[in-house]
A and B are shown apart, each in its own frame.
Chain A
Amino acid sequence: MPETLAIAAPPVQPVLDIREIRRLLPHRYPMLLVDRVESLEPGVSAQAIKCVTANDPFLVGHFPDFPVMPGVLIVDALAQTAGIMLRSGPADRPAAAPSSPAGRPGMLAGIPRMRFFHPVVPGDRLVMRVRLIKSFGSTHRVSAEAEVDGRQVVAGELDLAS
C-alpha cells in the first residue's frame, strides 16, 4: 500500500485576496503586512493572515542570527487588519479609496494595552483577529490578538483614528 502524504484541510476561501487588500490599504512593500483576509464583518470584526518568511526584509537586521518578527510590526499588521475592517465600512456604505480623506480610518492613534507571549519566526502563519470595541467620533478602539498554530502570541487593544 503506497504511503499517503497527510494533507491538511484545504485553506479557507479568502474573503479578500492580496489584490483586494491593496485596494483597501495604502501600504506597500515592505510595509504591507496582511496577505489574506479570511473573514470580514465590515466595521465589526475581521480575521487576516500574515505568512512570515525568511525573505521578509525586516528579518535581515532583526536579528541576523536569530530571525524574529519585530513586535511593533505584529502590532502594525494588527492595525492594518483593523484598518481593513474599518475601511470596508458598514455594508450599506461603499469602501472609500485609501487615497481619499474619507478613506483613511486606520491611522494608529494609541496602544492602550498589548502583550507579547511568544516570538514569531519564519514559517509561522500569523492568524490575526480584530474586533471593534467602541467608536466615538473619529476614533475607534479595537481588541486585537494573533495566534500561530492555535497558540496565542500577542493580545491587546489598539486605538485607530480616521
Chain B
Amino acid sequence: MQTLEIDHQSTIKQGLKELIVERLNLHIDPASIGDDVPLFANDEGSEGGLSLDSVEALEIVVGIEEKWGVVIQDDSMASEFRSIDTLSSLVGRLITEDAKVAISA
C-alpha cells in the first residue's frame, strides 16, 4: 500500500512536468524540472526555478483540471503552487477527494 502511494505520487509528478513543458511550450526536458524547485517567480529561491508568471499558472490550472478531471479552487495559489512536490500533493488530494465522493455517492 505504501509503495502504491509512492508510485501514484511519482506518476502525478511526471505527468505534471510533461504538462508544464507541453502547455507552456518550454524547450526543456520534463525530467530536468526538480521536484522541490520553485516554479514561480517571486518565490523564495526562485532564481534557480522556472520563474513562471500568473498567466502560466492559469495555464497549468486549466491543464491539471483537464488532465485529472479535478477542480482547483481559486484560493489554492500561495502554498500549493510552489513546486512539483506541493502541486503533486494537491493533485493527489483532489483525486482522492473525488474518489471518496464517487464511492459515497
> Is A136 within 8 A of B65, CB to CB?
no
Which A residues lie within 8 Å of B59 (CB)?
112
Contact code string A87-104 (vs B, CB < 8 Å = 1, else 0): 000000000000000000
- Select one of B54, B61, B62, B65 contacting A138, CB under 8 A: B54
Which A residues lie within 8 Å of B50 (CB)?
none
Q: In the assembly, what is the distance between CA of A138 and CA of B56, in Å?
A: 12
Which B residues lie within 8 Å of A161 (CB)?
54-55
> Is A134 within 8 A of B55, CB to CB?
no
Q: In the assembly, what is the distance between CA of A139 and CA of B65, in Å?
A: 16
Which B residues lie within 8 Å of A109 (CB)?
54-55
> Is A137 within 8 A of B62, CB to CB?
no
Q: In the assembly, what is the distance between CA of A110 and CA of B58, in Å?
A: 11
Residue B77 interfacial (CB < 8 Å): yes
Which A residues lie within 8 Å of B77 (CB)?
136-137
- Select one of B58, B72, B74 contacting A141, CB under 8 A: B58
Q: In the assembly, what is the distance between CA of A138 and CA of B57, in Å?
A: 10
Which B residues lie within 8 Å of A112 (CB)?
59
Q: Chain B nearest CB: distance from A132 CB in Å? A: 11
Which B residues lie within 8 Å of A134 (CB)?
58, 61-62, 65
Q: Chain A nearest CB: distance from B75 CB in Å? A: 9
> Is A137 within 8 A of B57, CB to CB?
yes
Which 3 pairs show the lowest CB-CB distances between chains A and B? A139-B58, A136-B58, A139-B54
